[in-house]
């Protein structure tokens, strides 16, 4: 399944995708139709020069689109869509409802409103086994409204998948190209993981033909060890690489055997469960 588009038909905020990390059908909730993000990752495929389909999310529209898409999947109608011609069997079971789109979900001023909305729809549609996932770069996890939203997710089979692509400030600046300080990212990960287990999601790549340097990989592993030593709960690490075309031609994917070897080193050095996704 190669089509990872965040647009589906005339929907503005919700989209279906067969996700390698979700392990099947994921219904994405895009709270950033304006493509607003405080990261500018070298591997990001989002075209921020194109005009957005909407400038802000709308709760009523999100609720309506999510409800229609859930029912389309459960009744088998989604399986007939040409987007899923190669994998129709994967569309009948919804693995997750994921806050994931064209920017950083925690930048919206009322994230808790959408957390409650998705939890309500999940319950109303009888999706007791479907998790709610927040896919985040961790910059907004210290915001009061986001913390309220996380508490809602905690009560409704929620998970936090938080980005960590580097072990040092320098490499973080090179890969994620953000004005947000790296120590804020680490602090937010620590404080969030003290309250509930989180998933660390890390994208590994080559820049100008060079993979992550060995010293940087050791620093990355040390950050994970520190998080655990300081009371953070890490359920697992998702190690993955580039899957879609990027605007930076010098940012390229790891080969499967390279990612496998890297994941093995992270397991050895941290003792954590590491799942790899090519």
Domain residue limits at 193: 182-278
Mean pLDDT of 266-278: 96
How many domains does the chain contain in total? 2
User: Rounded to whole angstroms, how far apart are CA atoms 182 and 173?
Assistant: 8
Domain contains 177:
no
Verify that 101 and 232 share a domain, yes or no: no
pLDDT tens readout for residues 177-212: 999 999 999 999 999 999 999 999 999 999 999 999
Q: What is the pTM of this model?
A: 0.93
Verify that 119 and 202 share a domain, yes or no: no
Is the pLDDT score of 75 beyond 90? yes
Verify that 132 and 189 share a domain, yes or no: no
pLDDT classification of 117: cutoffs 50, 70, 90: very high
At residue 22, the pLDDT reads 80
Please report where in the chains the tokens 């010098």 appear, as a residue. Answer: 250
Verify that 152 and 186 share a domain, yes or no: no
At residue 148, the pLDDT reads 98
At residue 83, the pLDDT reads 83
User: Rounded to whole angstroms, how far apart are CA atoms 125 and 149?
Assistant: 20
Is the pLDDT score of 216 beyond 50? yes
Is the pLDDT score of 52 beyond 50? yes
Domain contains 209:
yes
Domain contains 175:
no
Pairing of strands 131-136, 94-99: parallel
At residue 113, the pLDDT reads 98
Mean pLDDT of 66-76: 95
Verify that 141 and 10 share a domain, yes or no: yes
The domain boundary, picked from 129, 163, 197, lies at 163
At residue 9, the pLDDT reads 65
Mean pLDDT of 216-243: 97
pLDDT tens readout for residues 2-26: 444 555 568 999 999 988 888 889 9
Domain contains 176:
no
Question: Which CATH number goes with the domain that contains 260?
Answer: 3.30.750
At residue 21, the pLDDT reads 83
At residue 47, the pLDDT reads 78
pLDDT classification of 172: cutoffs 50, 70, 90: very high
Verify that 8 and 138 share a domain, yes or no: yes
Verify that 187 and 157 share a domain, yes or no: no
Is the pLDDT score of 230 beyond 60? yes
At residue 275, the pLDDT reads 97
Mean pLDDT of 53-58: 82
Is the pLDDT score of 1 beyond 70? no
Among 196, 191, 190, 275, smallest CA distance to 237 is for 275
At residue 2, the pLDDT reads 46
Mean pLDDT of 50-67: 88
At residue 140, the pLDDT reads 98
The domain boundary, picked from 104, 131, 163, lies at 163
At residue 79, the pLDDT reads 86
pLDDT tens readout for residues 97-115: 999 989 999 999 999 999 9
At residue 91, the pLDDT reads 87
User: Rounded to whole angstroms, how far apart are CA atoms 146 and 141?
Assistant: 6
């Amino acid at each position: 399944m190669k089509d990872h588009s965040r647009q589906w038909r005339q929907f503005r905020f919700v989209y279906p995708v067969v996700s390698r990390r979700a392990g099947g059908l994921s219904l994405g909730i895009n709270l950033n139709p304006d493509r607003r993000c405080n990261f500018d990752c070298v591997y990001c495929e989002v075209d921020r020069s194109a005009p957005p389909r909407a400038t802000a999310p709308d709760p009523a529209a999100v609720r309506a689109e999510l409800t229609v898409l859930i029912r389309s999947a459960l009744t088998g109608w989604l399986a007939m869509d040409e987007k899923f011609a190669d994998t129709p069997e994967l569309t009948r079971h919804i693995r997750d409802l994921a806050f994931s789109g064209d920017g950083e979900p925690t930048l919206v001023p009322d994230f808790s409103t959408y957390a409650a909305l998705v939890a309500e729809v999940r319950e109303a549609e009888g999706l007791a086994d479907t998790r709610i996932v927040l896919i985040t770069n961790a910059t907004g996890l210290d915001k009061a409204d986001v913390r309220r939203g996380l508490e809602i997710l905690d009560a409704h089979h929620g998970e936090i998948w938080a980005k960590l692509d580097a072990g040092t400030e320098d490499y973080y600046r090179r890969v994620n190209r953000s004005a947000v300080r790296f120590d804020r990212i680490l602090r937010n990960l620590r404080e969030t993981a003290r309250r509930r287990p989180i998933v660390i999601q890390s994208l590994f790549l080559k820049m100008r033909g060079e993979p992550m340097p060995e010293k940087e990989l050791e620093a990355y592993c040390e950050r994970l060890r520190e998080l655990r030593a300081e009371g953070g709960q890490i359920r697992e690490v998702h190690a993955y690489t580039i899957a879609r075309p990027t605007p930076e031609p010098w940012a390229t994917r790891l080969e499967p055997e390279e990612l496998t070897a890297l994941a093995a080193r992270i397991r050895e050095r941290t003792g954590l469960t590491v799942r790899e996704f090519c």
